[in-house]
Copies of this chain bind each other. A is one copy, B any other.
């Protein structure tokens, strides 16, 4: 490891675990650790766990550490480094995480919303390196997103821009956790996919999914659907094509709003692979305004495992 290369610490603050790693400017993790968030202990305990994690990866460190980046849920003020009302972290109202960690380690700290950090991660290390502008979509439990425009994160008025999961594609569609109807997340969020498949399979018994779970509907996951898809199951294929269509309809609206033609899709649900990506791209191309049509590109995210750590560390490399 050359001493000339720069490194950063990335902290991925989640509701269950805190993942911390040292990442090179080239995007390689050279050391990492994972701790329980101990969210029930409130902000003081969580901050103490973050400190512990950073101390662990920095123990006996001889690398040139450029900065610390923290990806956090909730509303983040990047100027002040505060984290406000993060879902799944009880007892937080507003915590000045940036200042606390900066004071402790005497290293420059940047804090950003986790979905925005993922977008910056793809821009600095991942599939977005060669694009000036793209929209990042992360499909997992929820559906998050981030907007990169001219190599910069578009944050909106208070850092909450890029909530692609809450673009509605049907004003009378299924109720979303956010309180609205027909949001992307209400179609592509993990639990929504599973529930829809369970309901539909109660009527349609010809899918290989049932065999894969020994008829125990409770065992259905996106991975099981993917396995059935890979075995050529027609129903699984239909499910995935529809998911692609739903996402594509929303991204066509996003494209028309932003005039950005490149979409990077990551997260567990992106594991459906090519059938999903083709369906998304086809739908966007069919629905977006003509001048944008020929510029549409839908590509998989590159940061997979440790995307959280890498995205967070990218904050330190991002100006």
Contacts and interface: CB of A to CB of B under 8 A. Distances in A.
Contacts of A178: 289-290
A287 B180 contact: yes
B289 A168 contact: no
Interface size class of A (residues with CB under 8 A): 35 or more
Interface string A280-296: 00000011111110010
Interface in A129-174: 132-133, 147, 149, 154-164, 166-172
Contacts of A287: 168, 179-181
B158 A133 contact: no
Given A252-B180, A260-B156, A170 B172 contact: yes
Interface in A245-272: 245-246, 249-250, 252-254, 256-261
28 contacts: A75-B291, A133-B156, A154-B154, A156-B259, A158-B259, A158-B292, A159-B259, A160-B259, A160-B289, A160-B292, A166-B289, A167-B257, A168-B169, A168-B249, A168-B253, A168-B287, A169-B169, A169-B171, A170-B172, A171-B246, A178-B290, A179-B287, A180-B287, A180-B288, A250-B253, A253-B253, A254-B257, A257-B258
Contact of A259 (B157, B290, B291): B157
A288 B157 CA distance: 14
A157 B252 contact: no
Contact of A167 (B155, B162, B181, B253): B253
Contacts of A169: 168-171
Given A160-B289, A289-B160, A256 B167 contact: yes
Given A156-B259, A257-B161, A249 B171 contact: yes
Interface of A: 75, 85, 132-133, 147, 149, 154-164, 166-172, 178-181, 245-246, 249-250, 252-254, 256-261, 286-292, 295
A75 B258 CA distance: 14
A256 B290 CA distance: 24
B256 A166 contact: yes
A291 B158 contact: yes
Nearest to A158: B259
Given A163-B289, A170-B170, 18 more contacts: A132-B157, A133-B157, A149-B154, A149-B156, A157-B261, A157-B295, A159-B259, A160-B259, A163-B256, A163-B259, A166-B253, A166-B256, A169-B169, A169-B170, A169-B171, A171-B246, A254-B257, A257-B258
Contacts of A246: 171
